[in-house]
Structure 1
Amino acid sequence: MSKLRILVPIKRVIDYATKPHVNRTQTAVMTANVKHSMNPFDELSIEEAVRLRERNTTPVEEIVAFSAGPPKAQDILRTAMAIGADRSIHVVVEEKDALEPLGVAKLLQKVVDEQKSNLVILGKQSIDDDAGQTGQMLAGLLNWAQATQASKVSIEGESVTVTREVDGGVETLKTKLPMVITTDLRLNEPRYASLPNIMKAKKKKLEKKTLADYGLAENLKLKTIKVTEPPTRKGGVKVEDVDGMISKLKELGAL
């Protein structure tokens, strides 16, 4: 029985509880002096990797956390190691040179080959750009099986069963390793890193690299033209009865 070598890509994003604001030039969201944290969907990924080890239906040889981002991204890698990752890799990319989904997928392809990973678990999307493309692109580049928006994962030997929510209910997929899985919110509830594990994480290996180490360079194909905040929502109105509601709906053109 082959052991699992799990790669968990994670991303540093503006904290989900923080309201983002567009800069004055309307070219980007302001990130200076704004609280950042691990992408919520990636928290699910690292938690699931640790749970796979705890279930022990298939032995887990190693869990590697990976991030490509500014120097401060090492904070979330330390968090991932405190939760249970064995070590981490940080490809330093300045914020102004942020990678696009295809660039991230190509980078991850190189990392998978280097680390000899046979399972990649990553969030279905990041909450900053909401692209939701990286996992699918990576599976295509690797020519691996994939299961997106997973709400349940079961691995026994080489066999992987993934349950995912679809419009009509749930869908169950079954395939074999190696594969790429993207996580959805119903998959699990991430644990908090305990203080002893946070201290242990400081001693775990965090390897710093650059895009050049993987033979890659920033090659952006997309240009952001303009960023604007959504229009202010108008307040609702109260009606006295059902007839008043129907009249109001007709007035708004909804009926």
Structure 2
Amino acid sequence: MTLQIETVPCLSDNYAFLAHDPDTGDTAVIDVPEAAPILKALADKGWTATQVLLTHHHADHVQGLDEILAKHDAKVVGAAADAHRLPPLDTAVKEGETIKIGNESGEVIDVSGHTVGHIAFHFPSSKVAFTADSLMALGCGRVFEGTMPQMWESLQKLAALPGDTTICSGHEYTAANARFALTIDPDNPRLISRSEAIETARANGQPTVPSTLAEELATNPFLRAGDARVQDHLGMSGANPAEVFAEIRTRKDNF
């Protein structure tokens, strides 16, 4: 059986996720912005956390950990490159290594850029990737610690996953991301349609995360830096996509 995924809203605009293997009962918590909603979600499902997977060191992704561990005997997994500033890890991992939730194996992907040492987790059998603040719904994380080329390379790794992969990202930023995306790719009918659906969802208090990689490839301007229409709109026809990405990210920073 595939993993059962639960999306857990936390703080004002964060998401944590639960990934549960029904065959073994193992449950992973992916990022811990806030303990109370995660503990409630676990209790409501009758699940026990056996692992906590941390994507990066920012407080809004780790600060609920102690409260989780006070109630669940879970092992903590995070990036070896980030271990010096993450909470204490039981398992330190790097790109290309495998982790398991119950019977399902997942791959660790280095997606540095937003931070150096940020990782994502891809579980191919369940067609899901936990990307936190790297690839986001209609966006990507601000490049705080890494470089623009590094972030572009990270996004290309995620873009190469199968299109039906569910992208579980870390924040409810999608409405603002959609408004920006329309300034970059204004004639994209799929983006226009998606933006309208996002407005409706948010007006009804519904989440816009997770999304699918196919949606992101068709509408997310940060993955479309090589698209001729995007380049033409930016006056960068024929430019290196990494340079176009940097221009798009800079514009978003100032949007």
With normalisation by structure 2, the TM-score equals: 0.29
With normalisation by structure 1, the TM-score equals: 0.29
More helix by share: 2
Bigger radius of gyration = 1
